[in-house]
Structure 1
Amino acid sequence: MKSVEDIESLEKVIGQLLAAHSEIAVLAKKSPSDTLNSFKLKMINRVIKTSNSILGEKYRPFEDFEQFEEDDLPSNSDVTMILAQYMEEAERCRSDNVMQEYGYWYYVLDGKISEIRSGPPSKVGRK
């Protein structure tokens, strides 16, 4: 991470991915083959577009995936699967950018531990 804004953006997109995944997973359990409505798809595509920008090439789950096609509405289960991949990569990015000091976890900014606290990494030893 290069700035506090990078950290804030990552934290925000992680929250958005978790919320969207939770919402769509409920729909997918009930009706996996049903298509997402256009309003939800627009919101999902915004989160994915932001995620692609924040995650960059290193953490982006699919290099050739930009967003879902609005003319060809995806199924609930398709969206759930893609969001799960984005959540994994966003967490890998976060985990690769935190360090422990005195029993607490902090984000790393420009190679140095910052004062911005974080949770422990879930992907230990992946760097």
Structure 2
Amino acid sequence: MNLSKNTLKEFDLRHTGCREDILASFQTYSHALSHGDLENLFGERFDRVTIYRTLKTFVEKGIIHKVLDDEGGTKYALCRSTECSHEEHHHDHVHFKCVSCGNTTCLESVHIPKISLPDGYKLSEINMLMQGTCPVCNA
């Protein structure tokens, strides 16, 4: 059984070709992928609604997490934290977008500092996007 099938089984998800292929894409690429990236990758094999529903399910189950983009879009990256679940995501790392190639990657070793909010505010999510040039483009 391949890694995608094992992951789907581990998260109690029914195996479909679309789910397996999309999950394999996240396991193959080291950078975040957008809905449009997946549409381009799979062409006519899966329609846009099926891809959207698969992404939504993967986020809800804690398999992938949302990565906000500086252009207002949303990208998705594989959850590497064992603490992610359908109840809650735990991502206290920053995301880095290369201004040269446009790829956004999770920098798991760079943590977002603890932020204290004024009374009355309740934190639900922090997103930190850093921009610069990635090691590949710097070479």
Q: TM-score, normalised by structure 2?
A: 0.28
Which structure has more RCO (C-alpha within 8 Å, separation ≥ 6)? Answer: 1
Normalized per residue, which structure has more strand? Answer: 2
Structure whose residues are more often helix by fraction: 1
